[in-house]
A and B are shown apart, each in its own frame.
Chain A
């Protein structure tokens, strides 16, 4: 199979990830729930991952909280900072993980639009919208539909100047682009562990620079007499048994990523993106592309329904994703509603031969 659906989840992982998952399944008990060797092994496994993540993102270990995915982290962040009726400025590229949560919280959504790949215009648009009555600003780092990278550092600076808390969804960028919560002055940054970070599904991180409100309540293996959730992070957000095998796998993935040359990986991914884009454009296929783009490419085959095209690709052994990508707001901003697009998404382990295979199949489909 040619796997080009890495924005949904990376499928090919470093071998160390599955080895760590297996080792944790075999040897780790419940962290924080006992003083015996198997519980201690679990505690050390979890802490190792937490510490690695803290080093990668420039934070203290306790500021790194484990979640099941980015959505859970975003739910925690948004529920912490909002009350019904609050005005929330958000990029017009946000995923349903943000927009449904905001809608559920009764917030007033103020989506910002700008040309997809023009970082300067995005910054200006945010600056215009961040008025004194804004309770919160939310932006993704990179779009899961178009791959556009937004200027989160500059948006964070605007928010800090105006005293507005800032939340970043780094789902598509973590592991590929530098994620710096302190430099972005973000209250919270959420990300999955299973995409660019190369960990297993069922893992996520919420990076906290502010005290969060817990989403889950229950046992933490600490301060058990107190019927309120602990004030200390990470315990405050980590009620219930943790996904230790998943966290172990994520730890191995982080260790692997730290051994790589990120600039080189990014350069390689951009080279593959350029090859895919030029190949499609050479066949007259409509693409959405520009500066400041990670390895996510939306396109359409004009004569074919997107889902039907994706099904044909699948039959030819190529994994892509068609439709709205859980981000109708992004498709509204990109003017690709109601049909959406077909999305090709790369990972740092994607290969030239996969792009070549995809282009060859596309050529056949267009005949």
Chain B
């Protein structure tokens, strides 16, 4: 179940982030970001399990892959933004 979304303004950063996470054993899927978490319009998101969230964000940070934000999907489908 993918519940955490890390968003990127550029698909290239999303792809780079996916590669970094995959190399570190974290499963994720690159997709177009849902409108609610792409306030600027047209963004990409790495969707991953919530339990991998903190580690994934730390790995991306360490690798210098700049994200636009991180979002948790609630059970009703809405999103809440996580603190950086």
Contacts and interface: CB of A to CB of B under 8 A. Distances in A.
Contact of B42 (A44, A222, A234): A222
A51 B40 CA distance: 26
B49 interface: no
Interface in A26-42: 31-32, 34-35
B12 A62 contact: yes
Nearest to A47: B15
Contacts of A61: 12, 15-16
Query: 8 smallest A-B Cβ distances: which pairs?
Result: A224-B41, A225-B41, A35-B32, A224-B42, A223-B40, A47-B15, A232-B10, A235-B10
Contacts of A223: 9, 40-43
A34 B32 CA distance: 8
Interface residues on B, range: 10 to 19
A235 B12 contact: yes
Interface in A10-40: 31-32, 34-35
A43 interface: yes
Interface in B4-18: 9-13, 15-16
Nearest to A35: B32
24 contacts: A31-B11, A34-B32, A43-B11, A44-B15, A47-B11, A51-B19, A61-B15, A62-B16, A220-B10, A221-B11, A221-B42, A222-B10, A222-B44, A223-B40, A224-B42, A225-B39, A230-B9, A230-B10, A232-B10, A232-B66, A233-B10, A234-B12, A235-B9, A235-B12
Interface of B: 9-13, 15-16, 19, 31-32, 39-44, 64, 66
A226 B43 CA distance: 12
Given A50-B12, A235-B10, 12 more contacts: A31-B11, A32-B11, A34-B32, A43-B15, A61-B15, A221-B11, A222-B11, A222-B43, A223-B43, A226-B40, A226-B41, A234-B12
Contact of A47 (B12, B31, B42, B66): B12
A35 B31 contact: yes
B73 to A, nearest CB: 17
B23 to A, nearest CB: 13
Interface residues of A, number: 24
B64 to A, nearest CB: 8
B55 to A, nearest CB: 22
Contacts of B42: 32, 221-224
A211 to B, nearest CB: 14
B45 to A, nearest CB: 11
A43 B13 CA distance: 12
B16 A224 contact: no
A224 B41 CA distance: 5
Contacts of B16: 60-62
B12 A224 contact: no
A51 B13 CA distance: 11
B15 to A, nearest CB: 4
Q: Which of B11, B16, B39, B64 has the most CB of A within 10 A?
A: B11
Contact of A232 (B13, B39, B64): B13
Contacts of A232: 9-10, 12-13, 66
